[in-house]
Structure 1
Amino acid sequence: MFMAFAHAFKTPDLRKKLLFTLGIIVVYRLGTHIPVPGVDYRTVQQCLDQTADSQGLFGLVNLFSGGALLQITVFALGILPYITASIILQLLTVVIPRLEALKKEGQAGTAKITQYTRYLTVALAVLQATGLVATARSGALFSGCSVASDIVPDRSTFTTVTMVICMTAGTCVVMWLGELITDRGIGNGMSILMFISIASTVPSALWAVKKQGTLAGGWIEFGGVILVSLALVGLVVFVEQAQRRIPVQYAKRMIGRRSYGGTSTYIPLKLNQAGVIPVIFASSLLYLPSLIAQFSSGNSAWKTWIVRNLTMGDHPVYITAYFVLIVFFAFFYVAITFNPDEVSDNMKRYGGFVPGIRAGRPTADYLRYTLNRITWPGALYLGLIALVPTIALAAIGAGQNFPFGGTSILIIVGVGLETVRQIEGQLQQRSYEGFLR
């Protein structure tokens, strides 16, 4: 990996792309530290110090914003509205025929869907910014802070609208920065910004584990977290690279005096075909009951049950529900993103077939059967990776401060592998030796 980056900096055009990407990252990190107008920055820092051990319901959003959410900055919402909008458009593509037709139109249809994603991102940003401002004004953003209600001193409508507009504009700027990286930099811009947001919280989380440790000044817990992290990274790299390659043979066709086809290839089915999406879906769905209970008044029986069972991350009910939802969404997402009937029809149209399997419906049934078999270990792997911080690390006292858990480790490793793969691909293109020297 390091050799790939070293060779990339020796190539002038790749060096420009890498420096451009680094410049955008610097701008993004600066925006995560600029407070929104109307927020008492000293009070926010005081509340952060008092509630440093737990981030409550807003941990996932704070993770994707690189810690900017709880500081209520211009980039507080981060890239999460765009991620949510992209997932919603992906799901709607299967349901709405118009979107499915646009997807099949090629580049023009993809550009149209991207435009719809931007509009939906702005709408979601307005909703999330309004909810964040209302939560900050009520003091619920920092439930354990004594001065949480003083975060927004001015409760006027003008101040509230200004804060919502600034956060929405910040989300639009983040979306624009991500698209700039995709067009003029290296890698997928949105994934790079997500990677930077998560990676920026790792040093402080590791140091918090060391400070809160009790064995040998916290170094035992610190070393345990490092070892578990390295083991998880190795496991994730191994599984993310795992594929089931289904061989495909194309029959020869004679056109005039020339023979076409007759080549052999394969369909790569990844073990973790759904990626990190099931973990995000499950986390978001489990946050909803707790969020509703937090804003409801009174002490009803259902609110007490939710607070007792679905708020604490180490409760057996929470762990079971989280694991079951991850497995369900893994199968659900794979079912809507990979269509065996469509793949089978495309193979049949171009004269392709799986050796030993008849073309058409038998091929679709074989692909569906194979996909279901490899999705089971992939879904169980996702569930175990997501629950490692809650179960395994409780023994060493790391608790919620484990920086390489679930969603974060999958994104960090996945984006890192994809970025290095793109750099190596561009290096191979530029190191090609022609016939003339």
Structure 2
Amino acid sequence: MNGFIQTLKNIWSLKELREKILFTLGIILVYRFSTYISLPAINLAEVGDLLEHYKSQGGNKQGAGLLGLLSSFTGGAFANASIMALGIMPYISASIIVQLMGMAIPYLQKLQKDGESGRNTLNQITRWLTIAVCLVQAPSYLTSITQMFLPYSQFQSAYYIEPSQFMFWFPSIVLLVAGSVFAMWLGEKITDKGIGNGISILIMVGILAGLPQAFVQEYVTQTGAAGAGTIVILIEVIFWMVVILLGILLSVAVRKIPIQYVSRAQARGGVTKNLMDGARQWIPLKVNAAGVMPIIFAQALMFLPGLLTKVDSTNTFLGGFKNVFSWQYNLLFALLIIIFTFFYTAITIPVNQMADDLKRNGGLIPKVRPGKDTSDYLDDILSKITLPGSIFLAIFAILPALVFGWLVQTEGFALFFGGTSLLIMVGVILDTIQQINTYLLNHHYDGLMQSKLSRTSNPQ
């Protein structure tokens, strides 16, 4: 505990790091306040009651689970009809599209290799594509909320303007697009002037915003007349901590491939002698090299069956895809995650380039020939570790459905037991901690250098 307090003091003592953290917290506050600004055509006071009524309908409970999942990524803005309802997800979608298009379009491939100028151009393309995605998603969002809520005549006062009018659609679409672009701008400001990856931090903040309410609802349910008591809450918290630990292990687990480098050839007494580096080095191949991207890809496709099915279709096979806790939803979800894990790993881990770089720099894997044999060896190892990694990732993603009902009694709290939400939180927190540690280590290194220089310049 003393070490933790001392670390906090060290962080606060660094002016640059302190300013970055305070700047990041300020941007997060702006983002959270923005999520409570509703669309001008929506009566926010009625939306909460309308959602509760919608969720309470037995025939519509499946749709509510899908709605809750969508809302969790925007900190409730999606369900509250906020100007930030689309959140940062259009930017994520645009980034994925640009990344996939980079495999097929030579111009984008050239930009990826052009260094800083190429990255700036790719970022600009991603921003414009984000606006295009918003122009598609905004009308879809407005259509979904009008179709969900208009059938209930007792909630017609939820709209200040009739949803069929032009003055409902045009300003709402403009504000939804502007809100998403504003969220993108806030994320980029965090990346530039704050600490951590801004886009990821905003997603994590949106997810964490629903955690306190979800835990309170679970506590009330378990301690109520039909609940199992406080001891079950304790068991849930312990199990949740174990799940978080497993998520951390999944994020950091690597397979180390030993390599050796030939530093130089030196002639001594007419004999040429290869001098090897003293320390053996490694190629760290991550067990889950794809991160959360397979879950995001699969999640995007899993929305399609639910959107193609009517809201009140609850007793059909396709109706089950509206329920994120149904067996058919999670079976297909797990299969898609396994497939996308192999796909995304194959396109992001260039084993041929790794083998060429090793050969060019004088590196080699013991007992493996340089060149194609090294490439085949790396590809074989990557395939072997990706299979268990993809299976574990799939189990981790459907864990909320596995614990819901027999352990966790509320849908909101169950969504935090694995899935995209928990993996994003774990990944962002680990990345932010790593950046903070880097600042601390650099400061310590600079201090040692300054002390050394002062001793050199002032000899006794």
> TM-score scaled to structure 1, two decimals?
0.91
Match for 1:101 among 96, 110, 113? 110
Distance in 2 (CA, whole Å) between partners of 1:217 and 1:255 is 75
Aligned match of 2:158: 151
Aligned match of 2:458: none
Counterpart check, 1:47 vs 2:56: no
Distance in 1 (CA, whole Å) between partners of 2:274 and 2:97 is 41
Mapping for residues 280-295 of structure 1, pairs under 5 Å: 280-294=296-310
CA deviations over 1:264-284 (Å, ceiling 9, x no partner)? 432211111111111111122
Deviation at 1:56, TM superposition (A): 3.4
CA distance change for structure 1 residues 45 and 313 in 2, over 3 Å: closer, same or farther? closer
CA distance change for structure 1 residues 149 and 336 in 2, over 3 Å: closer, same or farther? farther
Mapping for residues 16-27 of structure 1, pairs under 5 Å: 16-27=19-30
Is the contact between residue 196 and residue 432 of structure 2 (CA under 8 Å) also seen in structure 1?
yes
Match for 1:30 among 29, 33, 42? 33
Mapping for residues 28-427 of structure 1, pairs under 5 Å: 28-51=31-54, 55-138=64-147, 140=148, 147=154, 150-154=157-161, 155=163, 156-213=165-222, 214=224, 219-254=230-265, 262-263=276-277, 264-294=280-310, 304-307=316-319, 309-401=320-412, 402-405=414-417, 406-427=419-440
CA deviations over 1:331-390 (Å, ceiling 9, x no partner)? 111011111111111222222221211111101101100101111121111111112211
The one-letter amino acid paired with 1:48 is L
CA distance change for structure 1 residues 14 and 65 in 2, over 3 Å: closer, same or farther? same
Counterpart check, 1:429 vs 2:442: yes
Distance in 2 (CA, whole Å) between partners of 1:48 and 1:221 is 28
Aligned match of 2:457: none
Structure 2: segments with no counterpart, 5+ residues: 455-460
Is the contact between residue 137 and residue 149 of structure 1 (CA under 8 Å) also seen in structure 2?
no
The one-letter amino acid paired with 1:413 is V
Distance in 2 (CA, whole Å) between partners of 1:260 and 1:18 is 49
Where 1:95 maps in the other structure, the secondary structure is coil
Is the contact between residue 94 and residue 126 of structure 2 (CA under 8 Å) also seen in structure 1?
yes
CA deviations over 1:121-169 (Å, ceiling 9, x no partner)? 111112111111122223x2698x6645553341321231101101110
CA RMSD of aligned residues (A): 2.6
Where 1:252 maps in the other structure, the secondary structure is strand
Distance in 2 (CA, whole Å) between partners of 1:274 and 1:162 is 39
Where 1:249 maps in the other structure, the secondary structure is strand
Is the contact between residue 5 and residue 423 of structure 1 (CA under 8 Å) also seen in structure 2?
no
Distance in 2 (CA, whole Å) between partners of 1:141 and 1:383 is 34
> TM-score scaled to structure 2, two decimals?
0.87
Is the contact between residue 65 and residue 411 of structure 2 (CA under 8 Å) also seen in structure 1?
no
After alignment, is 240-249 or 175-184 more displaced? 240-249
CA distance change for structure 1 residues 380 and 125 in 2, over 3 Å: closer, same or farther? same
Is the contact between residue 325 and residue 400 of structure 2 (CA under 8 Å) also seen in structure 1?
no
Where 1:421 maps in the other structure, the secondary structure is helix
Deviation at 1:304, TM superposition (A): 3.4
The one-letter amino acid paired with 2:293 is I
Distance in 2 (CA, whole Å) between partners of 1:423 and 1:218 is 40
CA distance change for structure 1 residues 335 and 305 in 2, over 3 Å: closer, same or farther? same
Is the contact between residue 390 and residue 399 of structure 1 (CA under 8 Å) also seen in structure 2?
no
The one-letter amino acid paired with 2:453 is L
Where 1:69 maps in the other structure, the secondary structure is coil
Deviation at 1:52, TM superposition (A): 5.5
Is the contact between residue 262 and residue 362 of structure 2 (CA under 8 Å) also seen in structure 1?
yes
Distance in 2 (CA, whole Å) between partners of 1:210 and 1:51 is 23
CA deviations over 1:250-307 (Å, ceiling 9, x no partner)? 22335999x9994443221111111111111112211101101237xx98xx993311
Distance in 2 (CA, whole Å) between partners of 1:318 and 1:382 is 16
CA distance change for structure 1 residues 159 and 319 in 2, over 3 Å: closer, same or farther? closer
Is the contact between residue 262 and residue 276 of structure 2 (CA under 8 Å) also seen in structure 1?
yes
CA deviations over 1:219-249 (Å, ceiling 9, x no partner)? 3443333122111011111222211111222
Distance in 1 (CA, whole Å) between partners of 2:200 and 2:354 is 27
Report which of the two structures shows the higher radius of gyration computed on alpha carbons: 2
Tell me the percent identity: 35
Is the contact between residue 253 and residue 287 of structure 2 (CA under 8 Å) also seen in structure 1?
yes
Distance in 2 (CA, whole Å) between partners of 1:403 and 1:390 is 8
Where 2:406 maps in the other structure, the secondary structure is helix
Deviation at 1:84, TM superposition (A): 0.9
Distance in 2 (CA, whole Å) between partners of 1:59 and 1:212 is 18
Deviation at 1:403, TM superposition (A): 4.3
Where 1:431 maps in the other structure, the secondary structure is helix
